Amino acid sequence: MPAIAIIGAQWGDEGKGKATDLLGDRVDYVVKFNGGNNAGHTVVIGQPDGSSEKYALHLLPSGILSPGCTPVIGNGVVIDLAVLFQELDALVERGIDVSRLKVSANAHVIADYNRTLDKVTERFLGSRRIGTTGRGIGPTYADKMNRVGIRIQDIFDEKILRQKVEGVLDLKGQVLTKIYNRRPATVDETVEELRAYAERLAPMVCDTGLVLNQALDRGETVLLEAGQATLLDVDHGTYPFVTSSSATSGGACTGSGIPPTRLEQVIGIVKAYTTRVGEGPFPTELFDDHGEHLRKVGAEYGTTTGRPRRCGWYDAVIARYAARVNGVTDFVLTKLDVLTGLEKVPVCVAYDVDGVRHDEMPVNQSDFHHAVPIYEHLDGWWEDISEARTFADLPVNAQRYVEAVEEMSGARISAVGVGPSRAATVVRHELI
């Protein structure tokens, strides 16, 4: 089997965890290839007795919950080791076997100085802030690009680790003390913090690129699961209001060591409306009762930071853009049930920018900031759709909504989420 990527088609929180979990039983490896504990997947798994278990994962790939699946943290990820072991311990307490986890020797680690820098920089930026999650993600990727990052493999050689920490703290210590008036952790404290995990980490660490390519050679299925989403991608997103990693299908290759020629399917996850956390442009954002309604019914509060998410209508322009940038072969449309009970459901089909119609994402940042949505108003439905399991089970207007959105978005919609649990899904085309 080829490799398959799952990516977010909007600004994150589209329900990638659920989609990954939907495939989890049929894939052998699930790989997290970008980001760190800025992400948050909520996975709800129905139990044999009819109850359901909810898991909030930040750093671990959601494949960790599927017994036959090997979860992998790829080289493109930045790892906060304390968070990694907290998450693992919490799962073990709930009876989940985590012994299959593999961690790339080339992934970078988030050290204390970068968590501090993330927070103080945001404070310093004031009204120009990005609205980061404050987890040290940006500064850690900056170190990686600046070639002063600390990698997982460095932790096992105390001498090398100390040299690298000394090198990076030489500069960061000055910045933290002299600009931000913060006492940075010392070299000894930092080395100690990172070394504390060495023993537990060692059995998990390997050349994950090699492991994954060998698995593909054997005909196994590898699912590459993006953190964040297309519009938060450092190259293709709404820069500078983005995260610092490659969240698109290209990043799936660089962040895992799997070549593009082995990637045959790209599943884009798109919510039936749009949300965003943090700062930055968002053309279809709602500031009225409709926005509050979506937030309330959709429970749109951040998994990682608890922040209320900004909510707005479906934006077909960004869905088309995501289809193009990622080469989306199938969309999964999530949370359709949240739209139940609306007289009319607006969908943004294009933007008006200072009197000029844009059918594609404007390349210029200022144009995107000024984009006014041009809406098509589709008929709503009132029936409860949470029990729908086939397309024909959906009310006609809900079917029309899915078909209209599909027509506008540049790839077929293969599955539709109608409720939080794994089972609450209408499958139109088998995903793998």
Residues at the annotated binding site for substrate?
Answer: 303-309
Of residues 1 and 19, the one with the C-beta less far from ligand IMP: 19
The reply to whether 13 belongs to the active site is yes
Which residue from 62, 66, 213, 244 is in contact with ligand IMP, where contact means CB under 6 A?
A: 244
Query: If binding is defined by CB under 6 A, does position 362 make contact with ligand IMP?
Result: no
Q: Of 32, 144, 164, 172, which is the active-site residue?
A: 144
Q: Hey, what are 103's tokens?
A: 């961690």
Min CB(130)–ligand IMP separation in Å? 5
The reply to whether 352 belongs to the active site is no
Query: If binding is defined by CB under 6 A, does position 424 make contact with ligand IMP?
Result: no
Whether 331 contacts 357, CB under 8 Å:
no
Question: How many angstroms separate the CA atoms of 121 and 140, rounded?
Answer: 13
Q: Of 41, 58, 102, 236, which is the active-site residue?
A: 41
Give the range of 69-77, 126-134, 184-192, 338-346 binding ligand IMP by CB under 6 A: 126-134
Min CB(383)–ligand IMP separation in Å? 31
Q: Looking only at residues 2 through 31 of this chain, which bind ligand IMP when binding is defined by CB under 6 A? A: 12-13
Going by C-alpha positions, the residue among 14, 104, 39 that lies closest to residue 244 is 39
Interface mask toward ligand IMP for 214-233; x: CB under 6 A? -------------xx---x-
Of residues 215 and 226, the one with the C-beta less far from ligand IMP: 226
Query: If binding is defined by CB under 6 A, does position 300 make contact with ligand IMP?
Result: no
Of residues 14 and 154, the one with the C-beta less far from ligand IMP: 14
With CB under 6 A as the rule, give the number of residues binding ligand IMP. 20
The reply to whether 49 belongs to the active site is no
Min CB(104)–ligand IMP separation in Å? 19
Instruction: Name the closest residue to ligand IMP (Cβ).
Output: 278
Query: If binding is defined by CB under 6 A, does position 114 make contact with ligand IMP?
Result: no
- What amino acid positions are annotated as catalytic residues? 13, 41, 144
Which chain residues interact with ligand IMP by CB under 6 A? 12-13, 38-40, 130-133, 135, 137-138, 227-228, 232, 241, 243-244, 277-278
